[in-house]
Each structure stands twice: as structure tokens, then as C-alpha cells.
Amino acid sequence: MRHLKNGLRRTTATVTIAAAAALALSACSVTGAPSSAGGAGDADSGTVNALFMKQAGYTEDDVKEMIEDFNKEYPDITVDPTFVAYEALHDKIVTAAPSGTYDVVLMDVIWPAEFASKGIVTDVTDRFPDEWKQDMLGGALITAEYQDKFYGVPWYPSTKLFYYNEDMVEEAGYSVSDLDTWDGVLDVARAMKEQGIVEYPLAWSWAQAEALICDYAQLLGAFGGEFTNDDGELIINQGPGVEALTWMKDSIDEGLTNPNSTTFLEDDVNKTMASGQAAFSLNWESTFRDLNDESISKVVGQVGVSATPNGPEGVRPGVNGAMALGIASKSENKDAAWNFISFISGQSEQEKFVTSTLPNWKASYEDSEITETNPEVFAAAKVGYDDGILRPQVPNYSQVSQIVQLEIQNALLGKKSPQQAMDDAVSAANDVLNG
């Protein structure tokens, strides 16, 4: 018995050492990431795993239809799509990077700097046709570009548009032309509140998330501001940066902005508007479709859409929220992935889904047959695309954004004055930016 026990112990030790050795040998760097750089694979066959998001832009059904269209041309390539919430997308791309789980990843305009400098996505400059640089919208091209190289193909331009409930505006005794400026919007909102048309006329996506930065960016632009100066330093604690935040806070204090906005993401804003509990909101292009969808909206036919209202400086840039498709650097199937990306970014394919999101291609905006299918959104979005405001294009944008989100919320929740909050944000963020 004793002999057996010793034997068992020895066996355990052997197994242990063998397992440890096997694991130690498989490791080749501190991170444990394999050093292989992926592979081209076969251009016409194989499986392409693609990571998309569940929110705004093209719907899951749209993407599945695009894959069907793609398979008519490339029947031997299987595309396996995965959809995650936007809030989970960045971290999913990062954690899946070492294993090469996904061949194609959807990138937000704020990530190319990070993903390119950290080698998460493949440099596709050599594959990128020259004519695309002229034929695609400038605001969309930026999404795939970092330091004059391309790390993906723009999939769609995007900006936040201004949605208003026309019935409520008229009930308050105003007309759509009064909504041209934010001051005008506030006047109408006050009248609505006084007349009891809606308790909180404005709803925003001001939760501690990137959505907050998008709303803030658009207001910052309206007040004539920028995030950074020419040296790349954050300057939102001066002039327009503080004025925009003060404006936001005042709208809460005056009871015009729904105080629950600090817990809302875009989808909550959409639902609030769809249930008739808000008269005004900023949201992405696909919202117009959702607000006119009888299965989810009580305000079908009541909603109008325009470019974001003018600020006191008479400017109205839209936040650049374009998205691009990149190829993960550990992909073993890069050629097939490229074929898939270029197919679903193509003009004819994109023109099929213009109620979800607008195309990348300048020519689509000149083609009345296309613009007529979603005229309100085309008209409103064009203004925002022509004049956009960019969030800082830096590798550690994620950290900068978290700092700014926190401090804006501190001001909105009354924990700090807008000036104090922005001073703190700038000093913390510039520490990050300067390493």
C-alpha cells in the first residue's frame, strides 16, 4: 500500500513536471503571444470569422444579407459573423488579437491609432486602390488611416443627427425653422415644459461611455471648439470646452434635459424618444428608421431630422463616428478577408442598405435614385459629413476618453464645477498623452 502511494506521488510529480515543461516550451515571449504574423491563406476559399457590432449602423440582418450576396460571388468562402455590443467591441478585439480568433474586425474611428501602433490590425496600404482615396468621403477615409497608411477599409461614414418631434414643436406654437440653433431649441424646450407637453424635452446619451464624448464633441464643435491644439495637447478647459459643458449642466438644472440622461446610452435615448417622452435628441443615422418603425415606436411619422443645430459661433460640425473594417494581424486567411471587406464596402452593396446607414462613396450622394430612398437622412447627414469634428487620433485615446468621461460626469452630477472638472481632465489627460 505504501509502495503504491509513493508510486502515485511519483506519478503525480512526473505529470506535473511534464505539463509545466510543455507549457514553458510553448511560450516564446513575456506575453505568451505566438510570434507568427498570420498568413494570406487562399483568396477564394476558407472561413472568414468577422466581428461586428449590435448597435446603430447596419443591422444583423443587413450583414447577413451582405454575406449572402458575397457568397454568390465567392461560394467557397464561409463567413461566420459575431455581433457584440459597441461597448464590448474594443476589448473583444484586443483580447482576441493574440489567438487570431477573428479575421475581420470592425473598428471605430477612434481606434486606428491604437490598433495600428500596437500591431493589432494589418497594414493594407498596398492593397488599397488609389481611386478609393478620391471616390470615398474624406471623413470616412480617416477611420482606416494612421500616419499616412491604411489599416482597413472604411465601411460607413457616421455622425449624430438632430431628431425632433415635429408634432410637439407645433403644439408648443413653434415651427421647424426655430430649431436652427441650440438657443432656438432651448426656447422651444422651455415652452414645451411650461405647457406640459413633455416633462423633459431633451434626452442625451450621457452615461459614462464613449457615447457621452460623442454628444460632447458635437456641442464642443457648435461652440467653435476643438479637443486638441496643434501640439496635440488637450485644450477643453478653455473657452468653448467649458462653455459646452456649462451649457449641458445648465440644461439639466433648468429641467429641460432629462436628468436620467447620465445613465443613457444611444439606445435608451432612442427608446425615450420613441415612447414620446422626449422631443429632441442627438443620435446616429439609423435612428430615423427606428423611430418610424411601428413595432418599436409610438411616434411614427412625427419625427423630423436635421443636421446638428448651430452654436453661438454659427457652426454645426457633426462628430465623426465613421467605422472601418480591418484585418486582424494574426488572421490566417487575409486574402479571403480582404475580398470580403472590399465586397461589403463596395458602392453597389452599400447602396442597398441606405436606411441603416449612408454609403462611403461620394457618387452615391449625387445619385438621386439613391438619395430619394432616404431623403431626410441624406440631406441632414451631408452637412455633418462635410464639416466634422474629430476626437483625438492618438494611440492611448481610450485612456484620454475615460478621463474626459469621468470629469464631464463629475460636472453633470454637480460634484465639480465645469471649469474645475475640465481643468482636472486636461491635466490628467495631458499626463497620459505625454507618456
Partner 1 sequence: MTKLATTAPPRLRTGRESQRRLAFWLLLPAAVAVFGIIVYPIIRTLIISFFEVESALATETPFVGIENYQRALSSSGFWAAIGRTLYFTVVSTALELTLGMMLAMLLNARLRMRWLFRAIVVLPWAVPTIVNAAMWKGIFNAQYGSLNAALTQLGLTDEYIAWLGDPTLALNMVILADAWKTTPLVAFFLLAGLTAINPEIYESAKIDRASWLRIFRSITLPMLVPSISIVLVLRTVEAFKAFDIIYAMTRGGPANGTQTIAYYTYVRAFSDQNFGMGSALSYIIVIVILILTTVYLRMLRRSEMSLL
CB of 286 to partner 1, least distance (A): 20
User: Binding segment for partner 1 among 88-96, 224-232, 308-316, 354-362 (CB under 8 A)?
Assistant: 88-96
Examine residue 30 and tell whether it contacts partner 1 (CB under 8 A). Answer: yes
Rule CB under 8 A: choose which of 47, 95, 175, 348 binds partner 1.
95
CA distances from 83 to 92, 100, 157, 226 (A): 11, 17, 20, 33
The rounded distance, in Å, linking the Cα atoms of 103 and 332 is 7
The rounded distance, in Å, linking the Cα atoms of 34 and 131 is 36
Examine residue 119 and tell whether it contacts partner 1 (CB under 8 A). Answer: yes
Examine residue 120 and tell whether it contacts partner 1 (CB under 8 A). Answer: yes
DSSP state of 314: S
CB of 396 to partner 1, least distance (A): 7
**Is the distance from CB of 142 to CB of 391 less than 8 angstroms?**
no
Residues in CB range of 409: below 8 A, 6 or more apart: 206, 208, 212, 262
- Look up cell 499616412; give the residue: 148
Examine residue 14 and tell whether it contacts partner 1 (CB under 8 A). Answer: yes
Examine residue 262 and tell whether it contacts partner 1 (CB under 8 A). Answer: yes
**What would the x/- binding string for partner 1 be over residues 157 to 176, using CB under 8 A?**
--------------------
Rule CB under 8 A: choose which of 1, 2, 25, 35 binds partner 1.
35
User: Binding segment for partner 1 among 62-70, 184-192, 270-278, 378-386 (CB under 8 A)?
Assistant: 270-278
Of 119 and 239, the one with the shorter C-beta distance to partner 1 is 119
51: β partners = 82, 105
Examine residue 32 and tell whether it contacts partner 1 (CB under 8 A). Answer: yes
Residues in CB range of 24: below 8 A, 6 or more apart: none
Rule CB under 8 A: choose which of 159, 218, 286, 329 binds partner 1.
329
Using DSSP's 3-state secondary structure scheme, residue 262 falls into helix
Of 28 and 40, the one with the shorter C-beta distance to partner 1 is 28
User: Binding segment for partner 1 among 59-67, 69-77, 91-99, 139-147 (CB under 8 A)?
Assistant: 91-99
User: Binding segment for partner 1 among 67-75, 179-187, 221-229, 392-400 (CB under 8 A)?
Assistant: 392-400
Burial zone of 112 (CB within 10 Å; 0-12 exposed, 13-18 middle, 19+ buried): buried
At 106, which helix (H) or strand (E)? strand 104-108
Phi, psi of 137 (to 5 degrees): -65, 140
Of 251 and 258, the one with the shorter C-beta distance to partner 1 is 258
CA distances from 354 to 27, 57, 110, 158, 369 (A): 48, 10, 23, 12, 11
Using DSSP's 3-state secondary structure scheme, residue 354 falls into coil
DSSP state of 237: T
The rounded distance, in Å, linking the Cα atoms of 162 and 309 is 7
CB of 93 to partner 1, least distance (A): 9
CB of 4 to partner 1, least distance (A): 7
Examine residue 430 and tell whether it contacts partner 1 (CB under 8 A). Answer: no
- Look up cell 454637480; give the residue: 414
Which candidate, 242, 278, 245, 237, places its Cα nearest to that of 260?
A: 278
Rule CB under 8 A: choose which of 124, 335, 409, 418 binds partner 1.
409
CB of 77 to partner 1, least distance (A): 25
The radius of gyration computed from the CA coordinates of the chain, to the nearest angstrom, equals 25
User: Binding segment for partner 1 among 139-147, 312-320, 385-393, 394-402 (CB under 8 A)?
Assistant: 394-402
Number of residues that bind partner 1 (CB under 8 A): 56
Q: Name the site residues for partner 1 (rule: CB under 8 A).
A: 3-4, 7-8, 11-12, 14-16, 19-20, 23, 27, 29-33, 35, 87, 90-91, 94-95, 97-98, 114, 118-120, 207-209, 258-260, 262-264, 268, 271-272, 275, 277, 329-330, 396, 398-399, 402, 405-406, 409-410, 413, 415
